[in-house]
A and B are shown apart, each in its own frame.
Chain A
């Protein structure tokens, strides 16, 4: 690591160039936004940014490694299945959201800034799927985390500002934790390759390896860092704040793509075989899945509801990852990625639909609501949808009670998406019909969610598709949705409708008290007066001088000075004798 290999041409990467281009291209697009001629309508550039990534994902090159030793501490990029899949998903979502944004954001504030940071966020988001070394990963992760701040804050309303403030505080906290975790791992492995880092975190104690406590600390910090992004409870609180505050296309990418950066981080970095960690993640993840639903049901903002749904879904994914780690099961980790992919498309479609609801009337609106219902069902795992495949893929990771919980989580998922549907149906229409650029992406994303899992099944799961046609699987897929419909029916039944008052939980639930506490802490720190020495005051010095001055007055008369001279003679004589 200390002496990277030298390139013949400085900065020119070794290996395939395309992955580097995937990352550089959006940056160039972002920079273009600042060019005078383009500055007026930079939003139009947005769809261009993810195109190379999408092409790369579609091309599906063989596993290859690209190195750029001069950049950062030596950039290494790889294209493995999981990474490419999620890369493709991410690129697609960003493309869709970008197209959507052209229509949605007619007169945005500071379009150039928005475009620039959109592209920067995108770069980071793509980078996490390609990175094979910790520093590149970290840089990408930081880019996606921090640049997204500008997407959240874009509207500039007080609400947006507050949400963004909390978002950035948490993001930086997460970054810091992650950095420490990485640093420990790098120190333990003396390497930057993610694979080595992973290995060192479970390496048995011994010469040249990390102390178990350090390993534990690193793992914990990595979980905190990525969990924060992935909305792992109780670190989820930014999601319900940021999503409603951000412009809709931004919400879509936040929930559909950016959150996945945390997921890929957990998958990439957590070492297999860490049983305790895995179990812990499983517990927290499942708990998240349920609690988030309960919290989400109390919300009345469409995007907040969706955000809690994301938290819930990600809980599930994290539980899968936990299970995979605990069981040292790479298949489970792959499945988690698969599940995340489906969720990404579905959630992107759902978020984008929020904007569509306001501009759709008549039959189109009914079709839209039906589509939303179908997507919701897919997420809940309705057989035949892409979501069912996703559920099926992750289930082998669980058994017993956990499996039951996973299956039953469909109830919550359905409920919360029903809540969305109900709330969405109440949205008042402001415009006559939707622009194609808004409708198109929603449809495309929805279709991707429903269909792509079918296409990719074979890549992720060795089992034949036929397995899904089994009765057990069908029942498992349907009953939670039915239960949910039942509950919803009861709740919405005339006698109860409008009577049930959930507790008034603010968006972001625990965010408010935490925020108050943080503000109080900062204020306390700010007002603290440290004992800084300021001793250079003359007056104090002068006090020291007073005795000297008195002595000086005493010595001045000759009778004293002369006597002292005589005394000195005697003393010198005595000292010499």
Chain B
């Protein structure tokens, strides 16, 4: 028994065990979740220590090495995502404990929420650790089905429509991904990422496979223009679900996209594709932000913000992919995008949780009703503000570190366009996040009904997430070094 095997086993199975247990014991959801959090967190901590001290962890499942078996790989990138997921899930589940509490008799949503949420976690961990494209497919499918179910958990007409809409994109995405994987296997006889890296060339099969995989994952990541499903889906779900859906789920497909382009098929990445992805990302940033400006419901604002923020991530392709991969700035660009992914996960989850608490307090999330909410929910509004700071990319936050790194890389790469887009997006983010914040700070209308009280302990969870996002910025050095561990391509080097 090795520590790394133990860690990986805990991370992979604890949420799944938890989910199965929750399925079995309907009213014990919160307690099971707590146990899961503890177990997974323990595994995560062990894994982080191992990665930090010994470098990337590699484990052949069942002892079967590639190409026959499935390889688990935990490098700095995976470790970062797993740790962030654990943190975010912990906070989300803490907040969810009340609305989805077990109660005397079993309730539908309270019953299904816990196994679904834990399955989502399990799927995420499975994806982050997997080194095999087909295994990733299964994990992705698990994630997708769970996510769709969570979107529809409210059971209202709009949420069901949103879930169905999401389902369409998700099905299409899965199929396309599967098509790509099939073609790759047909051509190269393996789906192990490390092996593929040696074998993938630019044969027509590889190109079609790459195109299909990219299209499929882009649809799942809600990259503009495939985002149409996202705002209704993320805004319709209950807040804890939204937090997972917005903060974590798109990161998984993005993560696979990263693994694919940077590790499995680095040679295939021509400047055309990279620019295309980056360009769509830039468009998404502006487009999502503009639409977020126009929303009158808090959760819709946050959801459109996700559309915009996911756009950032795709700058990694022009800045760190292709010919840039070997350049000194690639490390910065790459880390910047990862920083963004991580801090966005925390901040966005925090925001949705805040929105959930606000809805609990005032019964809805229409902006005018939020006037003066700061008096009733000071910690929540503060958490929202901190999360907003991260999303705007203002220092000192993880969002800022991300923006700084990416901007530096974009100037160094001679592509200042991306830097300007980052600035623009930051400003737009400030604009659309400002509205709810300003309303929250305003004096309440005199005839407004008094908001219901929300306990401080529950308000603390989103605050902790937002603070974590800020801390990620203040203490950037260690995470920066960490996510470089096992980074594909160029050697780890500092910024010039």
Contact = CB atoms under 8 A, between A and B. Distances in A.
Contact of B291 (A552, A572, A575): A552
B168 to A, nearest CB: 5
B215 A572 contact: yes
B272 to A, nearest CB: 3
Contacts of A549: 291, 294
Contact of B208 (A542, A551, A564, A573): A573
Contact of B290 (A548, A562, A570, A571): A548
A569 B293 contact: no
Given A542-B293, A548-B290, A555-B228, A565 B215 contact: yes
Nearest to A567: B215
A545 interface: yes
A576 B293 contact: no
B410 interface: no
Interface string B69-97: 00000000000000000000000000000
Interface residues of A, number: 26
Given A542-B294, A556-B228, A572-B276, A565 B176 contact: yes
A544 B276 contact: no
A541 B269 CA distance: 38
Contact of A575 (B168, B227, B273, B431): B273
Nearest to A560: B228
A574 B210 CA distance: 11
Contacts of A570: 211
A557 to B, nearest CB: 8
B185 to A, nearest CB: 18
A561 B273 contact: no
Contacts of A574: 272
Contacts of A576: 202, 207, 210-211, 268-270, 272-273
B211 A569 contact: yes
Nearest to B208: A573
Contact of A541 (B214, B226, B431): B431
A561 B228 contact: yes
Given A541-B293, A558-B165, A568-B214, A575 B276 contact: yes
B291 A573 contact: no
Contacts of B208: 573
A569 B219 CA distance: 11
Interface string B264-275: 000011101100
B225 A564 contact: yes
Contacts of B226: 561, 564-565, 568
A577 B207 contact: yes
A34 B209 CA distance: 93
Contacts of B270: 575-576
A545 B268 CA distance: 37
A566 B272 CA distance: 18
B169 interface: yes
B228 A552 contact: yes
Interface in B285-305: 287, 290-291, 293-294
B212 interface: yes
B252 interface: no
Contacts of B204: 577
A565 B172 contact: yes
Interface in B239-295: 268-270, 272-273, 276, 287, 290-291, 293-294
Interface string B162-189: 0001001100110010000000000000
Contacts of A541: 293, 431
B160 interface: no
B469 interface: no
Nearest to B206: A576
Which of B202, B218, B228, B270 has the most A CB atoms < 10 Å from its CB? B228
Interface in A516-546: 541-542, 544-545
B383 to A, nearest CB: 25
B211 A565 contact: no
A572 B276 CA distance: 8
Per DSSP, chain B at the interface is helix
A577 B287 CA distance: 29
A566 B169 CA distance: 12
B323 to A, nearest CB: 14
Contacts of A552: 228, 291
How big is chain B's contact interface, by range? 35 or more
A551 B293 CA distance: 15
B435 to A, nearest CB: 8
A576 B270 CA distance: 6
Given A541-B293, A552-B228, A572 B211 contact: yes
Interface string B188-229: 000000000000001010011011101110110000011111
A572 B208 CA distance: 9
A345 to B, nearest CB: 71
Given A569-B211, A572-B276, A573-B207, A548 B169 contact: no
Which of A541, A562, A571, A572 has the most B CB atoms < 10 Å from its CB? A572
A556 B287 CA distance: 14
A564 B173 CA distance: 12
B207 A565 contact: no
Contact of B287 (A548, A562, A569): A548
A542 B172 CA distance: 34
A240 B339 CA distance: 77
A544 B290 contact: yes
A509 to B, nearest CB: 60
A299 to B, nearest CB: 64
Contacts of B294: 542, 545, 548-549
A556 B229 CA distance: 7
B290 A545 contact: yes
Which of A545, A556, A568 has the most B CB atoms < 10 Å from its CB? A568
B291 A548 contact: yes
Nearest to A558: B168
A545 B202 CA distance: 41
A383 to B, nearest CB: 86
A571 B291 contact: no
Nearest to B275: A575
Nearest to A561: B228
A572 B176 CA distance: 13
A39 B212 CA distance: 95
B268 A561 contact: no
A568 B172 CA distance: 13
Given A555-B225, A561-B228, A577-B207, A572 B287 contact: no
Contacts of A566: 215
A568 B273 CA distance: 10
Given A552-B228, A576-B211, A576-B273, A569 B291 contact: no
Contact of A572 (B165, B168, B210, B290): B210
A564 B227 CA distance: 11
Contacts of A548: 287, 290-291, 294
A574 B272 CA distance: 9
Contacts of B293: 541-542, 545
A117 B225 CA distance: 77
Nearest to A577: B207
B121 to A, nearest CB: 28
Nearest to B270: A576
Contacts of B214: 568-569, 572
B6 to A, nearest CB: 41
Given A561-B168, A577-B202, 17 more contacts: A545-B290, A545-B293, A545-B294, A548-B294, A549-B294, A552-B228, A556-B228, A561-B228, A561-B229, A565-B173, A565-B176, A565-B219, A572-B214, A573-B207, A573-B211, A574-B272, A576-B269
19 contacts: A542-B294, A544-B290, A545-B291, A552-B291, A555-B227, A555-B228, A556-B165, A561-B169, A561-B225, A561-B229, A564-B226, A565-B172, A565-B216, A565-B226, A570-B211, A572-B273, A572-B276, A573-B210, A575-B272
Interface of A: 541-542, 544-545, 548-549, 551-552, 555-556, 558, 561-562, 564-566, 568-577
Top 9 closest A-B pairs, CB basis?
A575-B272, A573-B211, A569-B215, A572-B211, A548-B290, A575-B273, A555-B228, A569-B211, A545-B290
